[in-house]
Structure 1
């Protein structure tokens, strides 16, 4: 799986206008089965979905997007091009008739000093995998930890109650520094965690084995290297899901 923060709103200082093209190159080169995307515009998702589908010609490709909220307007946060700004996810299903459901929303705890209201997004793949991403608050570690707890302790158990249990993986720019002791509070018992040495993390339930993690340089197109994680799903789920080793 591949986690990327593309800084593509057009409004931040890290914007280059080249990150989506570089992301397409990385997807082509690394051929991940699951891609989580932070700081993107809504029209970036179909653009990268086309690249992802070209890499995975068999089965079915699923994409999802969730906009961040904008407190002053009560609507979506917008990119410079006018499109909604937020987070996205791409994955492939092992068979065209595999069912999936999308779950998404805005975290209830937000930093009131930040006009951007942070969001979460999950795709449930037919009782075989929960794949999620989020981009947590950058202005308050306390708020970021509360948002992480909301997703892992509240949202995911609720999804499991409605869909049934499945191995779970969460990746995103959590804005919690890897070496900070508080980051452990974002990974409750029953979860494993790896990171890029900075702010991006992958959390997985213990029936997923995180085998290797490495960063992929984005050639200055964004201010975050991509985080590539090789994982396998253990036990009876392994033959049902489309996730395979990606590194």
Structure 2
């Protein structure tokens, strides 16, 4: 099911401040950051039966090899968004391995009372049988980060990361597509993927594999926890096939009006959606979504 939600007002201040954050001039943003905080109330649960989780989905086009590369400006802007909006989950596509380290530090600063877990999955190159690399030689792929309160079971019992390569790939593209997840103890699973970009049928197959074989397969094996997926699924918001064609029963999603989505499993509720202008630093907007998850 597709859910269209209202746009939150807080991202404008965040985007402006992120430029100053990148240059170290944080103090100049204090007033705007306070305004952003008022329009984006914290992550406290609005119900005794749910927990609120804020998700930021980003495709940063940071390999250095594509026409949309902005010399790292997309990462700088995204760092500012994380600082100002304090997402609990950040899902990243088209990034380098060291970018994930940058976001891990940023999330740790934004959530000083939380433990931050990070996972990265390099995209294999079918021709070389090695990971695709960024211009600087770092592995290229997808990443996911989660901040969990240190006092929670997620922090005390540990998290588990897992990833994989899809069995169906676009034969015309040497970059093989992958998925990566972090299972946050008994709370939820946070996942991301960047599906095939040149063949919609392959993208649909990859989406279905992730949401059935991977997610529902884990549930059958005894890991039945809510799913939060932030991803560039390369299935258009308007067109066919769309994301609805790959969603199992009871799943919901909201999108950026293009090809990025946040998907949640049955029992979770999509609360708000903001499409974030990335100011030309990448060829995708950001997607900021608040989700209410059922408590375990």
Range into which the TM-score falls when normalised by the shorter chain: over 0.9
The equivalent residue for 2:286 is 226
RMSD: 1.1
The equivalent residue for 1:80 is 135
Q: TM-score, normalised by structure 1?
A: 0.93
TM alignment of 1:10-159, pairs within 5 A: 10-17=64-71, 18-95=73-150, 96-159=155-218
The equivalent residue for 2:223 is 164
Higher strand share: 1
Shift of 1:74: 0.7
Q: TM-score, normalised by structure 2?
A: 0.78
User: Which residue of 249, 263, 282 corresponds with 1:203?
Assistant: 263
Q: Does structure 2 retain, via aligned residues, the 8 Å contact 1:127–1:163?
A: no
User: Which residue of 179, 188, 191 corresponds with 2:251?
Assistant: 191
Shift of 1:162: 4.0
Q: Does structure 1 retain, via aligned residues, the 8 Å contact 2:195–2:207?
A: yes
2:274 paired with 1:214: yes
Q: Does structure 2 retain, via aligned residues, the 8 Å contact 1:145–1:185?
A: yes
Shift of 1:105: 1.0
Unaligned stretches of 5+ in structure 1?
A: 238-247
- The SS at the match of 2:104 is helix
Shift of 1:125: 1.0
* Residues 174-213 of structure 1, C-alpha deviations (whole Å, 9 max, x = no match): 1110012421112121200110110101110121110111
Aligned residues: 236
Shift of 1:99: 1.7
Larger radius of gyration: 2
Distance in 2 separating the partners of 1:154 and 1:103: 14
* Residues 63-91 of structure 1, C-alpha deviations (whole Å, 9 max, x = no match): 11000110100110111111100000111
The equivalent residue for 2:58 is 4
Distance in 1 separating the partners of 2:136 and 2:222: 37
Unaligned stretches of 5+ in structure 2?
A: 1-54
Q: Does structure 2 retain, via aligned residues, the 8 Å contact 1:211–1:229?
A: yes
Moved over 3 A (4+): none
Higher helix share: 2
